[in-house]
């Protein structure tokens, strides 16, 4: 086999995949925290009304909201209540806005709203496609705004100074995770190839073997390297 004198070798290829992986995950994690607007939320505000869903006993109605930016989509399921008092609503109004949860993506919804205490947020993040997902669940209120949360499908970080929940999503979304990994690996191949090409060019310019840098002064152009045999 002819030894290749290009700027790309197996080591640089592996480096490109690892950097592609780090970029894919890093962007998905950064999207969980930026932008932060005020003290109420990270990422896009979930303020687009999607519809209603209710518990199987019919006693609790949840409002579903959605928020999006180019690298973060969040769906919020909120028990209709104000200051701990359940709000009443006419059945025809509920039915006009009812959403079948099964029509929503599996990783952006609960199995049913029965298991939601007060509120839950389902998130997917990444660019160019959504790559990771996790959900954050209201567990218990200690006092006003001091709320204990739990995270599913991700790593829970300590709450911030305003008691906002924070988490790093760890569950892959397919095919987005693979697409982003391929995309960012390809992006990293460019600079890594260039680094390799400069390296080879430098050795050649100094009259050294491009593989092991052994000085080839006085040797014929097409002879094998006496040091590494390539
Ligand atoms: Zn050599």
For ligand 1, the distance from its centroid to the CA atom of residue 225, given in whole angstroms, is: 5
For ligand 1, the distance from its centroid to the CA atom of residue 190, given in whole angstroms, is: 26
Q: What is the pLDDT of residue 126?
A: 98
Predicted confidence band of residue 101 (pLDDT cuts 50, 70, 90): very high
For ligand 1, the distance from its centroid to the CA atom of residue 203, given in whole angstroms, is: 11
Q: What protein residues have CB closer than 5 angstroms to ion ligand 1?
A: 209, 211-212, 214, 225, 227-228
Which residues are bridge partners to 76 per DSSP? 65, 121
The length of the chain in residues reads 230
For residue 228, give every residue at least 6 positions away whose Cβ sits within 8 Å of its Cβ, in sequence order, or none: 209, 211, 212, 214
Query: pLDDT digit string (tens) for 77-89?
Result: 999 877 667 778 8
For ligand 1, the distance from its centroid to the CA atom of residue 12, given in whole angstroms, is: 19
For ligand 1, the distance from its centroid to the CA atom of residue 224, given in whole angstroms, is: 8
Does residue 145 have a pLDDT over 80?
Answer: no
Q: What is the CA radius of gyration of the chain?
A: 27
Angle at alpha carbon of residue 80, lines to 79 and 86, rounded to 5°: 105
What mean pLDDT is predicted for residues 171-181?
97
Share of the chain above pLDDT 70, in %: 94
Q: What is the pLDDT of residue 98?
A: 95
Computed from CA positions of residues 14, 16, 19, 24, in that sequence, does the dihedral angle turn out positive or negative?
Answer: negative
In this structure, of 119-133, 137-151, 179-193, the range with the lowest mean pLDDT score is 137-151
Q: What is the pLDDT of residue 86?
A: 72
Asked if residue 8 lies in contact with residue 110, where contact means CB atoms within 8 angstroms, the answer is no
For ligand 1, the distance from its centroid to the CA atom of residue 6, given in whole angstroms, is: 15
For ligand 1, the distance from its centroid to the CA atom of residue 214, given in whole angstroms, is: 5
Q: State the Cα–Cα distance between residues 100 and 52, nearest whole angstrom.
A: 9
HEC letters along the chain: CCCCCCCCCHHHHHHHHHHHHHHHHHHHHHCCCCCEECCCEECCCCCEEEEEEECCCCCCEEEEEEEEECCEEEEEEEECEECCEECCCCHHHHHHHECCHHHCCHHHCCCCHHHCCCEEEEEEECCCCCCEEEEEEEEEEEECCEEEEEEECEEEECCCCCCCCEEEECEECCCHHHHHHHHHHHHHHHHHHHHHHHHHHHHHHCCECCCCCCECCCCCCCCCCCCCCC
For ligand 1, the distance from its centroid to the CA atom of residue 217, given in whole angstroms, is: 12
For ligand 1, the distance from its centroid to the CA atom of residue 187, given in whole angstroms, is: 30
For ligand 1, the distance from its centroid to the CA atom of residue 16, given in whole angstroms, is: 25
Buried b (16+ CB within 10 A) or exposed e, 34-43: eeeeeeebbb
């Amino acid at each position: 086999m002819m030894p290749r004198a290009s700027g790309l070798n197996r080591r640089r290829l592996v480096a490109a995949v690892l950097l592609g992986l780090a970029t894919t995950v890093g962007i998905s994690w950064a999207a969980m925290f930026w932008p932060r607007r005020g003290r109420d939320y990270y990422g896009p505000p979930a303020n687009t009304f999607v519809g209603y869903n209710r518990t199987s006993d019919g006693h609790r109605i949840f409002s579903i909201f959605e928020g999006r930016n180019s690298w973060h989509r969040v769906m919020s399921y909120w028990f209709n209540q104000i200051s701990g008092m359940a709000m009443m609503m006419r059945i025809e109004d509920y039915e006009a806005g009812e959403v079948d949860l099964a029509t929503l993506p599996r990783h952006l919804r609960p199995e049913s709203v029965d298991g939601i205490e007060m509120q839950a947020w389902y998130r997917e993040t990444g660019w160019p496609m959504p790559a990771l997902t996790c959900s954050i669940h209201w567990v218990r209120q200690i006092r006003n705004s001091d709320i204990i949360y739990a995270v599913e499908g991700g790593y829970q970080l300590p709450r911030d100074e305003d008691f906002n929940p924070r988490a790093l999503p760890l569950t892959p979304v397919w095919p987005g995770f693979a697409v982003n990994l391929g995309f960012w690996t390809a992006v990293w191949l460019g600079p890594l190839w260039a680094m390799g090409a400069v390296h080879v060019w430098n050795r050649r310019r100094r009259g050294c073997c491009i593989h092991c840098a052994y000085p080839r002064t006085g040797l014929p152009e097409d002879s094998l390297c006496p040091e590494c045999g390539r």
